[in-house]
A and B are shown apart, each in its own frame.
Chain A
Amino acid sequence: MSSIERSERRTAFAFVAPALLWTLAFFLVPFGAMVLLSLAHLEGREIVQAYDLGNYIKIFTDPSLLKGIFVSLEITMTVTVISVLLAWPLAWIIATQVPARYQRLAIMLAVLPFWTSYVVRSYAWALVLGQNGVLMQWLIGIGLLDAPIQIMATRAATIIGFVHFFVMLLTLTIYANLIQLSPNYARAAADLGASGWQTLRLVILPLTLPGIMTGAFLTFVLCIGDYITPQILGGNNELSMPQLIMLQLGRRGDFPMASALSVVLMALVTLAYAATARWLKMDRV
């Protein structure tokens, strides 16, 4: 290796070093500490440092804890699929049907709910979905229902609260992808005899996969780790993993079990990343 190459390598490392140090100090070291703590266990009110997999075994054998994993996965998958199905047409309409000079305004309106506090937004949904809420009053008013039905304090309420939030996020990532597509793709497809629907399905949609998958992955990560929405809208009628983690921390003082649950949660996110990595091209979004 020449001295020039060595010098270039040192310079490159110097530029990367702050990011590496940051990751080491604020991610790898805390994560290592959390893994270590997850191997300890609670005896009475004392945390006893040990090195066994007791907490992990309990997570996968205790029905209540195991159910938390399935509850989180079911909610997250449902939210992700519904959000994608709603966000893609919205992003497509904004990117292709709205005149360019109004697109920025349309995007701003689409993400307007981001400007309010997450907690306040969840409580607002609680009032909308409640027995005497706006939704029920409207449904009864138009004659669709005779009496209120329960949506609040159910999984449906949690999913609605999540979808409202994540449709905005996905709209942004898909829109950013869509506006980068050259109109020549659609023109070429039309020249080759493709109908509008065929162009959309066989050309545009595949080309927006990076935006869809990036948004879907972000939705998955944020949704599966969210505590506030299921806590406020779900009515504690089932517990997701973040709720179980909070129970261990705030009530039991069982930091090792909370750490073990967090590691499992992180493993699920890693699996989601592995499943979507081939489409995650941030430069395309």
Chain B
Amino acid sequence: MKKTSAHAMAASGALLLLATAAQAEGEINALVWCDHTDPALLEPFEQAHDVKVNVKEYEGTAAGLAILDQSRPGDWDVMVIDTVDVGRAVDQGLLAALPGDMGTADFFPELVMADSNGRDGTIYAVTEKFGYNTIAYDKTKVDPADMGDLSILWSDKYAGRIAVYDYYLPVLGLIGLEQGVATADLTADSVESLRDRAYALKANARQVSDVVASQTALATGEVDILIGGGEWVTAVLSAENPALDWTVPSQGALRWSQSIAVLEDSENKDMATEFVKYIVSPEGQARLATSSCYWGMPANRAAGDVLTDDQKAALRWDNQDEYLANSQLYPTPDADLDLAMQDLWTDMLQQ
């Protein structure tokens, strides 16, 4: 039987063309998430180093790895990647070792994540931003005290006023937390035990929607609560819609984090490393945290000196110690568990 890489199947000619663009002097090519495309983030670095940062946006680790798979060695210098997936990239030999001192001394300790970002004492990536998949809500429409308990989402009180974020990993993780199952303990069997609870949540919800539709539904009053949402949904709207808020309930929340790394095949590693250092510097961190695409907490606590009070309030800066202690990392399922979770999610959507 012939085995074919899923990544190879996923590649398109268009990506190939994009990835094979010749790298010019004074340029670095970065494979990033949308928050890195904000000129307010990139321009200070470009001006300081007289370099052009070319960014290509992608979503999902699999898509990012597929792009690398279809590119020529050296096409890409920097990559933003889910922190829990850094190990996958290291296993494939894609990431370069970073210098020992990447300024993580000022980081929130929980966000250094040396085990995820490194291997055998070598650092391959640095956490740059984090946040929570939890409960976002309109505080003028719901009782904020209710939002401290996840189980309220299954009650009649908010029936038909809830949107579910359409991403199976965090939401099934949250359902697990509500049922007392830690994300690290999720197995194919324990996921199956969440089926009835997932169906009941769907029955209580008005819609299951992606980022844009969820944010729109919450902002327009279509729904009052978004499960799976967090500061990344509400903070960016805080100035124009201060009624939107978020919290971490007593059962806890899922914590997402993204890391930034230099690619092993980069032909411009020095400049790429400088870019990583800039991103994790207090100034870079503050700009990244409040990027126009979505907001999130900076991994570097020193960014607090740069952010304004309003920005820190929207990010719930003062609650971070409590939230960090009461949050768990995303589930990191193997292939079988991943498919089991997706099957459950599809079945839930069709209910």
Contacts and interface: CB of A to CB of B under 8 A. Distances in A.
Interface in A229-259: 231-232, 235-239, 244, 247, 250-253, 255
Contact of B6 (A130, A150, A238, A255): A255
A49 B6 contact: no
Interface residues of B, number: 32
B220 interface: yes
A153 B207 contact: yes
A153 B206 CA distance: 7
Contacts of B210: 231
Secondary structure at the A interface, as helix, strand, loop or mixed, is mixed
Interface string A194-215: 0000000000000000000000
Interface stretch (A15-23, A60-68, A183-191, A269-277): A60-68
Contacts of A252: 339, 342
A231 B62 CA distance: 22
Contacts, number: 90
A235 B350 contact: no
A218 B347 CA distance: 31
A132 B221 contact: yes
Given A49-B2, A253-B62, A130 B342 contact: no
Interface in B33-71: 60, 62
Interface residues of A, number: 37
A26 B242 CA distance: 52
A152 interface: yes
Nearest to B1: A48
Given A47-B6, A153-B207, A232 B213 contact: yes
Contacts of B339: 42, 252
Given A131-B221, A153-B217, A236-B208, 17 more contacts: A37-B9, A44-B335, A44-B336, A45-B6, A49-B1, A63-B347, A64-B347, A131-B222, A132-B221, A150-B206, A231-B210, A232-B213, A237-B207, A237-B208, A250-B60, A253-B10, A255-B6
26 contacts: A46-B3, A48-B2, A49-B1, A49-B4, A50-B1, A64-B347, A64-B349, A64-B350, A67-B350, A130-B220, A130-B221, A132-B222, A150-B160, A232-B213, A235-B207, A235-B213, A236-B166, A236-B208, A236-B349, A237-B207, A239-B349, A244-B346, A247-B342, A251-B342, A252-B339, A255-B6
